Structure 1
Amino acid sequence: MRTINAQDVVSASRFNRFHLLVFLWCFYAIGFDGYDIAMYGVGLPWMMEEWNLSALQAGAIGSYSLFGMMIGALILAPVADKFGRKNVIVICMILFSVFTLAAGLAPNITWFTVMRFLAAIGMGGLMPNCISLMTEYSPKKRRALLVGAIYIGYALGGILASLIGMYLVPLTDWRVLYYIGAIPLLTIPLFIKQFPESLSYYLARKQIGKVVGILNKVKPDGDFNEKDDYQLHAAAKDGKGFPVKKLFTNNRTFSTVAFWVAIFCTMMMAYGLNTWLPKIMQNSGFSLTSSLSFNIMLCLGQIGGTLAGGYMAGKIGYKKVLVSLYLIGVVTFIALSMTTNVALVYILIFLGGASTVGVMNLGNPYITEYYPREIRATGMGYAQAIGRIGSILAPTLIAMLLVTGIAPKMAFAAFAVPSILAALGYLLVQEKYGSFDRLTAEMELNDKALEENRKVIQS
């Protein structure tokens, strides 16, 4: 009988059809997360006209939806450890699809707001569980690439919403955005059939047959069977406790607060732009079609910022890249409030995407790597929770700014303030108290363990 560490088998595996299938489903699910955030901003100009909404009302609806996402993240993400990540993802997809369709059928703004809130609860639990499963099932050598590529799905979802707004909504009405948002409901049976549950979930429940089935797909020549003894790393098995206090021990207090400030400001910018960009550009004199094309450029900037920033972070480190991108954002938003050159506006919008969502995607792994393994999930979870508060406030705060009567494009200058604060937050992170060196040592030890385990499996 062999003693096999299931996590090591996955980490040492070569990318194959199984990994591709997990990636495509996670990419698909997170793509609809991005679509959900963007479709409200895309459809907003038509909704405001049909229901005679004020900017404050429109901003409040956006905030309610983001509040629903925070509730979903707080409730649905943690319960996945008990009920299974795959099962929770299915629940999230059902909630999102059903209530998004209901929002499209809403007869008035009250029903629409309630349906959006309920749909957002489903969306809130989706991304954390998709990222977790993609991380678990990625070969070690491609883990960073695969997890990073998933975030691109978020931006592509925003592009899809913008294209629908440009070409389908004028032929029908804004509700078509929400009808299309119900598509995941149709694909759930196939998802259930093809998508794997977490190995840790199966092992905790002694469902060895399912573990064997997955590992034989991960490593087809492994010849795994139910007679073998399957384990996970001790860190993976010890998931109890909620060590919040450890975020503030061993000289980590200052950096923890700095992370929270940076994420709060980043999410405020990202969700403020996603909600209001098309309307701001329309009010600035651009046609609605042109306004939506700016939204596409914003999403392309998010992709560019994630890819280019990730490459540079591997060369010079996350901190320098993050601070630099935020400072570029400061210049970008001030310039956007002043220029009237259309070509320059497109370039600046691209940079705006790179310095908001693009930089947010880079900040997540940096925060995760700062903390020791035993509190990484807690550190990232609390940073995201604080950030969600910023995202909730953003739509309403921008609306309050717009109703003051200032020139619409001057609202962009307001984004320079959180961009400066976010740069300052990351600049003040005390890396000497982080676990980066420890992480490197862990990876070296893990490499040795992987090699030993590979020899056991092959023998």
Structure 2
Amino acid sequence: MTDTRSLNVQQFINTHRFSSTQIVTLLLCFLIVAVDGFDTASIGFIAPAIRDQWNLDPAHLAPVFGAGLFGLMIGALAFGPMADRVGRKTTLLVCTGVFGLASLVSAWSPSLEFLTVLRFLTGLGLGGAMPNAITLSSEYAPDKHRSVLVTTMFCGFTMGSALGGILAAYLVDHLGWHAVLLVGGIVPLALLPLLAWRLPESVRYMVVRGHDPQRISRILQRIAPDADLRDVRYDAEAAPAGSPVRQLFDPQLRRGTLLLWVMFFMCMLIIYLLSSWLPTLIKNTGRSLQDASLVTAMFQVGGTVGAITLGRLMDSFNPQRVLAIAYVVGAAFIAMIGHGAASTVLLVLAVTVAGFCASGGQVGANALAAGFYPTPNRATGVAWALGIGRIGSIVGSMSGGWMLTAGWGMEAVFEAVAVPAVVAAVAVVLMGRGRQAA
């Protein structure tokens, strides 16, 4: 009679060298969120050309922007539970195909109404792809490097957004705005065969769902070819019955879920408010639009550096404490933007550090959420946190206009924007030693 050995797949990942299979997995997730960033940002870059071609007022474009944001929210809320039921890889392939096809078709939009519907469909796919890329990256990362690997992977989003600006400027000038949407559709659709071929399903998900042990062993053998996986029984986290969404409110998860939602809402409110309105606010100080755009770009630069730095710190120290400090420092520098607007040096410093703390902190919060939830509902937990955060992004995009219409000055605007950062800091402190996934 052959003895059967018990094996925990996360411990297996933790105790073996970081393999080429894991690198490829993170790289493919990086490419997904990079294309996600490109498609999310593309409408903002082509909006002036669309307005000119169709003789629209700026207000006419609001439904297009709103449809995309609403699609991002619904996509996150819908595709997270789907990933916990049918798998991370399958859901990523579906989402990538949805936003690629919708972007491709939108290049031939005959009217604003048609484009608005397609931007909603594009948003659905984009909203579902992001949390599943975070989840899959987290489940192939060793515990001691999880935060920095997830945050580094997520930097693909900001890089994709930045590339979108550079490429869109060229394409619109030479080929028209339709070409930007064509690229935004062709690239993810071309990526699909590579994802289907090389992207592995999460082994932690496969164990929980009782998949064939031989399939699990084949994936683990790619991570550690010399490992002896004969006669192995894989330890599984019990998959609770019922809806993955309902499971977020189980007694051991309820408090952390609600506090994560507060963090995500507040952080994304800040990010979208500053991204949407910072160029206008800076231009109102008498600077040129070019200078205003360059200063605003430092927010994204700071966010990229902050994501990687905070990820490393979260792996070395208490992650809640790291994020709480980042949010408090971010609040101070957000307020400084309004008070230091007269000095270009102070303005650039304040915007860069605000991006480091707020945008970088949001990426860190993604990693925190992925580490908080257990495998059976991790995708749902991350996706719903992002979905609630999308509500904050809508509020942020609109609130800048409300404050300007009300005649608020620079100091008052940025003091008000600093308040959500303080609220996020309080939420992460209260989260404390919330349940950490094994």
Whether these two folds match at TM > 0.5 is yes
2:152 matches 1:153: no
Determine the structure 1 residue equivalent to 2:76: 73
From 396, 399, 403, the counterpart of 1:397: 399
Matched residue of 1:138: which SS?
Answer: coil
From 184, 202, 205, the counterpart of 1:181: 184
CA displacement at 1:256 relative to structure 2: 5.7
Instruction: Tell me: CA distance 1:349–1:47, structure 2 relative to 1, closer, same or farther (3 Å).
Output: farther
Identity among equivalent positions (%) equals 28
2:140 matches 1:137: yes
CA displacement at 1:406 relative to structure 2: 5.2
Note the alpha carbon deviations across 1:286-318, whole angstroms, 9 max, x for none: 666555544542221111222233344456644
2:360 matches 1:358: yes
Matched residue of 1:434: which SS?
Answer: coil
CA displacement at 1:113 relative to structure 2: 1.2
Comparing 282-291 with 142-151, greater Cα deviation is found at 282-291
Instruction: Tell me: CA distance 1:83–1:268, structure 2 relative to 1, closer, same or farther (3 Å).
Output: same
Determine the structure 1 residue equivalent to 2:28: 25
Determine the structure 1 residue equivalent to 2:218: 213
Instruction: Tell me: CA distance 1:177–1:375, structure 2 relative to 1, closer, same or farther (3 Å).
Output: closer
1: CA distance, partners of 2:38 / 2:153: 14
Determine the structure 2 residue equivalent to 1:260: 261
2:82 matches 1:83: no
Check the 8 A contact 1:70/1:388 in 2, yes or no.
yes
Give the TM-score, by structure 2 length.
Answer: 0.83
2: CA distance, partners of 1:89 / 1:45: 32
CA displacement at 1:271 relative to structure 2: 2.5
2: CA distance, partners of 1:242 / 1:49: 46
Consecutive unaligned residues of structure 1, counting only runs of 5 or more, are 444-459
Check the 8 A contact 2:149/2:311 in 1, yes or no.
no
Instruction: Note the aligned Cα RMSD (angstroms).
Output: 3.6
CA displacement at 1:230 relative to structure 2: 3.5
Instruction: Tell me: CA distance 1:72–1:370, structure 2 relative to 1, closer, same or farther (3 Å).
Output: closer
Comparing 279-288 with 12-21, greater Cα deviation is found at 279-288
2: CA distance, partners of 1:343 / 1:170: 33
Instruction: Tell me: CA distance 1:85–1:380, structure 2 relative to 1, closer, same or farther (3 Å).
Output: closer
The code of the aligned residue for 2:68 comes to S
Consecutive unaligned residues of structure 2, counting only runs of 5 or more, are none
Instruction: Tell me: CA distance 1:394–1:160, structure 2 relative to 1, closer, same or farther (3 Å).
Output: same
1: CA distance, partners of 2:391 / 2:431: 29
Determine the structure 2 residue equivalent to 1:124: 127
Instruction: Tell me: CA distance 1:289–1:168, structure 2 relative to 1, closer, same or farther (3 Å).
Output: farther
The code of the aligned residue for 1:207 comes to D
Instruction: Tell me: CA distance 1:43–1:246, structure 2 relative to 1, closer, same or farther (3 Å).
Output: closer
Instruction: Tell me: CA distance 1:261–1:391, structure 2 relative to 1, closer, same or farther (3 Å).
Output: same
Q: How does 1:338-353 map to 2 (within 5 A)?
A: 339-353=341-355
Determine the structure 2 residue equivalent to 1:39: 42
Instruction: Tell me: CA distance 1:142–1:385, structure 2 relative to 1, closer, same or farther (3 Å).
Output: same
Comparing 346-355 with 65-74, greater Cα deviation is found at 346-355
2:272 matches 1:271: yes
From 189, 193, 197, the counterpart of 1:193: 197
Determine the structure 1 residue equivalent to 2:419: 420
Check the 8 A contact 2:328/2:421 in 1, yes or no.
no
Check the 8 A contact 2:148/2:311 in 1, yes or no.
no
From 349, 369, 385, the counterpart of 2:387: 385
Check the 8 A contact 1:37/1:275 in 2, yes or no.
no
The code of the aligned residue for 2:267 comes to T
Comparing 107-116 with 32-41, greater Cα deviation is found at 32-41
Check the 8 A contact 2:270/2:420 in 1, yes or no.
no
Check the 8 A contact 2:338/2:413 in 1, yes or no.
no
The code of the aligned residue for 1:326 comes to Y
Instruction: Tell me: CA distance 1:34–1:11, structure 2 relative to 1, closer, same or farther (3 Å).
Output: same
The code of the aligned residue for 1:305 comes to G
Check the 8 A contact 2:6/2:234 in 1, yes or no.
yes
Check the 8 A contact 2:88/2:202 in 1, yes or no.
yes
2: CA distance, partners of 1:282 / 1:109: 29
Matched residue of 2:109: which SS?
Answer: coil
Matched residue of 2:227: which SS?
Answer: coil
Q: How does 1:292-331 map to 2 (within 5 A)?
A: 292-313=293-314, 317-331=318-332
Determine the structure 1 residue equivalent to 2:234: 231
Q: How does 1:49-60 map to 2 (within 5 A)?
A: 49-60=52-63
Check the 8 A contact 1:92/1:123 in 2, yes or no.
yes
2: CA distance, partners of 1:274 / 1:181: 21
Check the 8 A contact 2:34/2:157 in 1, yes or no.
yes
Instruction: Tell me: CA distance 1:211–1:433, structure 2 relative to 1, closer, same or farther (3 Å).
Output: closer
1: CA distance, partners of 2:250 / 2:221: 43
The code of the aligned residue for 2:190 comes to L
Check the 8 A contact 2:73/2:127 in 1, yes or no.
yes
Note the alpha carbon deviations across 1:49-68, whole angstroms, 9 max, x for none: 44454454444432221111
Determine the structure 2 residue equivalent to 1:448: none
Check the 8 A contact 1:106/1:112 in 2, yes or no.
yes
The code of the aligned residue for 2:198 comes to Q
Note the alpha carbon deviations across 1:157-192, whole angstroms, 9 max, x for none: 122112224444334434333222121111211221
Instruction: Tell me: CA distance 1:58–1:351, structure 2 relative to 1, closer, same or farther (3 Å).
Output: farther
- Alignment length (residue pairs): 432
